[in-house]
Structure 1
Amino acid sequence: MQHQMTILQLDLGREWRGGQRQVLYLGRHLAASREYRPVIAAPDGSPLLDCAREEGIQTVPLPSRFEWHPATLLFLRTLIRRERVDCLHTHCARSASLGATLKVLCGGGPLLVHSRRVSYRLGRGWSRKKYALGDAVVGVSAEIAQSLRDSGLRPETVSVIHSGIDPTRYSARKERPDGPLRIGLIGALTPQKGHTVFLDALAELAGRSGVPEWEGIIVGDGPLRGELEERAKHLGLHKQVHFAGYRESRDMLPGFDILAVPSVDGEGSSGVIKEGWACGVPVVTSDLPSNLELVQDGVNGRAFASGNGAALADTLASMAADLQGGGKACAALVRGGSKRLEFFTDEAMAKAYMALYAVLNGDGRACGAV
């Protein structure tokens, strides 16, 4: 019988966000293969473990969400030996520390793969060293991969594998014959997501004549909620902008007419852009390099200058006018997005990781072309 390569997936987040969904997708496809056996390790009680168990994937509840916890280190070192783990794959900054420490404690084995989902440069000291200990480091965009190289990692260890979504989870946009256009933003209420740019753009839009009636919907929760609600009131938007809190994106997107992705920094491979494509919602995004790896302006979405609320307002006004006039231009963007999505599915993502594992297992070296 062919040996199955055992991959221990590590994620120390207690939340359920895009990164955790990527771990689940990857685990699902590994479990369906003959060559790989996934084991997902996360803090006890995390949503990731619950979802993985429902799909029949082997799970390991960790004693703590902290990477330096002695019980976690001892537990995982024992598990690696008992389960004959071939590869550790980390999916967040904390788990990268945990994985690198385990590699050292295990005398250089098993193989170590890191996935990095933000484009910030690595810091000095351990922040860089833990990634340098990896046999392969995957940036989920070319911008992130370049940031890793610029931080001093060996170029031959750095690969690019974009995050993927499962298109079958999403429903098509609902046609509504009347009512205001719904302009939506989905994302954690944190600084890098650009909610202030979005609110500034809507305030600009509200002051213009001839713009079709609209309402703004902000989906997500986070530390900035109170501040953003106050800003909306200050801008006179409290009647036109609604804060929906945390909701599943697939439940909200079909009700949108336009999806805005105004992120200002740190963006990886935006999942919500792909989700917008899957639902047939026209997308407008800031022109961060990682966003432009996905969106081609005028082909499968629109792009505006990052941080520029007036530029976003101009684009929103143009898209709203098109939708009011029959939506020919927006329909073309939707068709372009549907075609582009084929390259960013969960299946495409998992196949790329399997190819990387195979290279590592064969000769111990990552391939930057993956």
Structure 2
Amino acid sequence: MAMAGSPDAQRPLRIMVITTGLKLGGAEQQIAALAGSFIDLGNDVAILNLTTGTEVDLPPDVLVTELHMRKTPASMLAALRKARRVIRQWQPDVIHAHMIHGNLFARALARTGPMPPVICSAHSAREGGRLRALAYRVTDRWCNLTTHVSEAGRQAMIASGAVPSGRVIVMPNGIDTNRFRQDDASRERMRRDLGLNTGEVLVLNVGRLVPEKDQAMLIEAFREVYRRLPRARLMIAGDGPLRAELSSQIAGYGLNHAVLLIGARKDIPELLRAADVFVLSSRIEGMPLAVGEALASGLPVVSTAAAGVAELAGDVATITPVGDAAALATGLATAIEALPGTQAQQYRRRQQVLSRFDISAVARQWLAQYRHLKEGR
């Protein structure tokens, strides 16, 4: 193995990323953030997108190839051939796949001929049912390493039989702490844009409108919060298949003036600055980036005990049982009543993220892992 200070250890790497998609999910945001950090550190990045379309903000120097893969054997074979052609041309030092479909595709790709080291990263504590766990287990030997973003998620994969304990490690998500920080002028502008009045308290939730995020339970909890604290407002940033159902729930509770679905947004840092409290209501996570971003912004966080939350937040967040609307309501009301809090509390929340999850430090951990696997070859 090359010494840390040797020229070979510091040689720029060519990193090929394989992803299920590039929409506005947490895993996709992490791929984009890591790509930016890798490039800032002098490396090259290319992405194979199994599907079509890019919603996350990628650095301009990233080469993206869309494979337009569908769930048919012919389409999958065509995607494998195209991917092999791109890899032969680009000559990566390592292939890093993300999410269930990207991971299984990368493993299948590794069976088609010589490949650089292949790493597969899982981002959810529930990667799927028994069939997906079986697919992971059968193809495990076709990759060099599997990672998960949290210890809770790692243990879940082991328990499901998807991967042996010695073949999966934790590599946490990273937070771009330069983007997520307090800014009083930005806060006032965004609060005006959102139509918030002086004295109103903004509770913010960020996440796709899907069952795993359990915003229905959040709205139920907020009904009690609003009854106790009528100056509270809830905004949910995200879109998804449950939008109409959640809108009906809000109207049925008579909360149209207090709860707003604001759709998918690309201005999350500004929304966090405008907020007073951040809330996560998820049933299932891996390591929720939104919680880390809120803490980096200095916000009080109230969250369900979804996988990865406690590892990320430590003792600087209020954590309630999954699915417990009454407990979430109590946590939110307590957080609102404690506002505005102190600068020392805000500093401690931000330091929780800076000390362990800053994106630059996490990117360097990945680069060290890539070099270790490459040199092992």
TM-score of Structure 1 vs Structure 2, range by shorter chain: 0.7 to 0.9
Once the two structures are superposed, the pairs formed by residues 18-97 of structure 1 within 5 Å of their partners are 18-33=26-41, 36-42=43-49, 46-47=53-54, 51-52=57-58, 54-64=59-69, 69-97=76-104
Higher alpha-carbon deviation: 256-265 or 21-30: 21-30
In the aligned structure 1, how far is the partner of 2:57 from the partner of 2:332? 37
Q: Report SS of the residue matched to 2:279.
A: strand
Q: Distance in 2 between matches of 1:317 and 1:217?
A: 16
1:308 is the counterpart of 2:315: no
Distance in structure 2 (CA, Å) of the matches to 1:317 and 1:33: 43
**Structure 1 residues 276, 215: closer, same or farther in 2, change over 3 A?**
same
Corresponding residue for 2:119?
113
Runs of at least 5 residues in structure 2 that lack an aligned partner in the other structure: 1-6, 192-196
2:206 corresponding residue in structure 1 = 186
- 1:308-347 alignment runs, 5 A limit: 308-323=324-339, 326-328=340-342, 331-342=343-354, 343-347=356-360
Assess, with a 3 A threshold, how the Cα gap between structure 1 residues 322 and 289 changes in structure 2: closer, same or farther: same
What does residue 101 of structure 1 align with? 108
Asked if 1:255 is matched to 2:274, the reply is yes
Is 2:173 aligned against 1:157? no
Contact 2:20 2:51 in 1 (8 A): no
Secondary structure at 2:319 match in 1: strand
2:119 maps to amino acid: V
Give 2:155's aligned residue: 146
Between the aligned partners of 1:97 and 1:32, the Cα distance in structure 2 is 29
**What residue identity is the alignment partner of 1:118?**
S
Give the Cα separation in 1 of the matches to 2:68 and 2:337.
54
Tell me: CA distance 1:4–1:182, structure 2 relative to 1, closer, same or farther (3 Å): closer
SS of residue matched to 1:119: coil
User: 1:322 is aligned with what amino acid?
Assistant: A
Secondary structure of the residue aligned to 1:327 is coil
Q: Does 1:166 align with 2:176?
A: yes
- Is the CA contact (8 Å cut-off) linking 2:210 and 2:242 kept in structure 1? yes
Change in CA separation of 1:335 and 1:99 when aligned onto 2, cut-off 3 Å: same
Q: Does the CA-based 8 Å contact 1:115-1:137 persist in structure 2?
A: yes
Deviation at 1:127, TM superposition (A): 4.2
Contact residue 295 and residue 349 of structure 2 kept, 8 A: yes
Paired residues of 1:201 and 1:313 also in contact (CA < 8 A): yes
Between the two proteins, the alignment pairs up a number of residues equal to 351
Checking the alignment, whether the CA contact within 8 Å between 2:205 and 2:237 is kept in structure 1 is yes
Matches of 2:68 and 2:296, distance apart in 1: 37
Match of 1:362 in 2: 375
Distance 1:204 1:212, change over 3 A: closer
Question: CA separation in 1, counterparts of 2:20 and 2:70?
Answer: 5
Which residue, out of 222, 230, 233, partners 2:240? 222
- Could you tell me how far 1:137 is from its partner in structure 2? 0.6
- Which amino acid in structure 1 is aligned with residue 320 of structure 2? F
Go from structure 1 to structure 2 and tell me whether the alpha carbon gap of 1:126 and 1:296 turns closer, same or farther (over 3 Å shift). closer
Determine if contact 1:27/1:40 at 8 Å carries over to the other structure: no
Aligned position for 1:352:
365
Shift of 1:270: 0.9
Give the Å deviation of 1:221: 0.6
Deviations 1:146-170 (A, max 9, x none): 1222233232221111111211123
Hey, what does 2:194 align to over in structure 1? none
Deviations 1:315-357 (A, max 9, x none): 111122111xx534xx554222111111112112211111211
CA distances 1:238-294 after superposition (whole Å, capped 9, x unpaired): 2211111111212311111111011112x0111111111222221111123411111
Check whether the contact 2:48–2:83 (CA below 8 A) recurs between aligned residues: no
In the other structure, the counterpart of 1:368 is: none
Residue 314 of structure 2, aligned match among 296, 313, 328: 296
Displacement of 1:43: 5.1
Write the distance in 2 (CA, Å) between the matches of 1:311 and 1:95. Answer: 37
TM-score, reference length from structure 1: 0.86
**SS at structure 1 position matched to 2:336:** helix
The answer as to 2:9 corresponding to 1:10 is no
